[in-house]
Amino acid sequence: MSDIIDIEEGRRRGPRISVCIPAHEQVSAYTMYDLAGMLMQTGATAVADGTIEALGMHMSAGTYVHRSREQLAEAALQADSDYILWVDADMRFPRDALMRLLSHNKDVVGINYSKRGLPAEFVATKHIDWEKDEESEKCKTLSDSTGLEEVDALGFGLVLMKTHVFNRIADERPWFWYEMRDYGHVGEDVYFCKLLQDAGVDIYVDHDLSKDCTHIGSFEYLTAHAEDAMSESELVEA
């Protein structure tokens, strides 16, 4: 399912952005509320003044998220989009999230957030040892974290990427896949990040925006939950 809204015919004034939403059977009402608010605010400001030329939205519902992401990426490329904003169906975010990510002008920039489950754990990884998971280092969005931080991989709950990165990995199909390794499961988002890393594409986490977003589960998981869990773990080790 997709829809592209062209703002103005003729010469491109600004980037075309496709918002891509993979889902299983349903999207959280809170996610759709935040998405509507973000698109309304973006349309009233950035689209009106030409900062963004066109906004599009694509959704793919299915059991296998890696297939949905592959289909959505293809749809965005066929729509001649300059950016993809990935939005998972269980995320909450502020109305200015798209513009904040866009302002960084990075190939790939997204948020760090907590996994759904306790003890909470951050999804972004600062350094990955692709052979030994125990030697990987999580990216930590703490109460005093600010600015951008380069990472090896991040979850795709809310990520903005320039579509030209797909040219760097054009021969690496499928782009989204999953693997079982000796130390556990590698998800489709981390798999994609590995392709980008091998192609020399930098990936960043926006710590400030991360703290304004939540991951919806039985309750809304905050970065603070992962920080608290990390602190408890360090105390036990001490």
pLDDT tier at 186 (50, 70, 90 boundaries)?
confident
pLDDT in tens, 108-154: 999 999 988 777 889 999 998 777 655 678 999 999 999 999 999 99
* Reported pTM: 0.86
Q: What confidence tens digit (pLDDT) does each residue in 17-48 have?
A: 999 999 987 899 999 999 999 999 998 888 77
**What b/e sequence results for 75-99 when a residue is b if at least 16 CB atoms lie within 10 Å of its CB, and e otherwise?**
bbeebebbbbbbbbbbbbbeebbbb
Confidence check: pLDDT of 68 > 70: yes
Q: Which of 170, 162, 175 is nearest to 83 (CA)?
A: 162
Looking at the structure of the chain, the number of domains it has is 1
Q: In terms of residue numbers, what domain contains 21?
A: 2-237
Residue ranges of alpha helices (H) inside the chain are: 29-42, 48-49, 65-78, 97-102, 165-168, 188-198, 207-210, 223-237
Summarize the confidence of residues 194-223 as an average pLDDT: 93
**Residue 192: which CATH number?**
3.90.550.40
